[in-house]
Amino acid sequence: MRTIGLEEHFVTPELAGYGASSASILQPEKWREASRRLLDLTAQRLAEMDAAGLDTQVLSLNAPGIQAEPDAATAVARAAAVNDLLASVVAEHPGRFAGFAALPLQDPQAAAKELERAVCQLGLRGVLVNAHTQGRYLDDPSLRVVWERAEGLDVPLYLHPANGVGIPHVIEGHPELVGPMWSWGAETATHFLRLVFGGVFDDFPRAKVLLGHMGEGLPYVLWRLDSRWDYHDHHGVELALDRPSEYVRRHLYITTSGVCSAPPLLCALLALGADHILFGTDYPFEDMATATAFLRTAPLSEADRAKIAHLNAERLLGL
């Protein structure tokens, strides 16, 4: 059975400095090893893929990526350069790699143009965005042009975590909760809900968003979201689809990246359906072989396993 991983990170020497804020989150030796693997695009990576039984990685620039660059012109140039590099790696290893573009969202018009170039000229399969861009989230009206282009190209946007603008008060004094341990998941789920209540999906009804880490907890809370939406003051917001869960089920696709556990997988299967779940390993921050072994042994029908392993990715990304 073909296996395709959708959250598979890399970085280049020129862009590695953007990840300095992540270095404080990991244990020093873990960060050193992850950094070494992020810079290795093919050699050890391909050997590990072969050993784990992972046929294809959809590569994406590691967080925070281009979003961390404060200068818009520099972001535009660096996004184009890294997308060119990614396309060359994919071309050199057909079938083994595909790619998600990095976008200079500091300049929305340039980002939309770069997305079209990356998809139409370079053959990349969508875009991955690492959280906010200098404090601006994807529901910002200035970024509607990017959503318009993504919908027109029929490609998904993978929304990946990164450090927030600040540390929430409830986390202050507990740095162990900052990052993928806790804060990233909560912030990324909230970012998706901003898209719902900010009208992005009403404006772009064919938009598709991917979330990793088994959906950042959203499949677990759909009933609660609807119940409280019926109860709360809407503050002037009305949803064309009436209930928040309708947007999650229609627009959200999730990957298993970083969560090798049957209970949340089964919850997601019941909440979203097998057509909206895809495979990911979260390489190099999780063990590739552990992830593929989980996929092979998870309590799924073989039809659903095939959808998660490769069929959904082939359909969604045109692989």
Output the six-digit token pair for 95. Answer: 């079938």
Contact (CB, 8 A) for 67 and 131:
yes
How far apart, in Å, are the Cα atoms of 141 and each of 68, 160, 186, 200, 264? 20, 20, 23, 9, 34
* SS3 (DSSP) at 161: coil
- Taken in order 104, 251, 273, 307, the sign of the CA dihedral is negative
Output the six-digit token pair for 78. Answer: 């660096």
> Hey, what's the torsion of the CAs at 234, 236, 237, 241, to 10 degrees?
90
Q: Which residues contact 182 (CB under 8 A, 6 or more apart)?
A: 171
- Closest C-alpha to 98, from 49, 57, 55: 57
Q: What is the largest CA-CA distance in the chain?
A: 55
- The span from the CA of 46 to the CA of 56, in Å, is 9
- The span from the CA of 274 to the CA of 257, in Å, is 16
- The span from the CA of 245 to the CA of 264, in Å, is 17
Q: Is 275 a catalytic residue?
A: no
- What pairs with residue 278 in β-bridges? 255
Contact (CB, 8 A) for 87 and 122:
yes
Helix, strand, coil share of the chain (percent; to 5):
55, 10, 35
- Given the residues 50, 55, 275, 282, the one annotated as active site: 282
Contact (CB, 8 A) for 90 and 97:
yes
Q: Which residues are catalytic?
A: 282
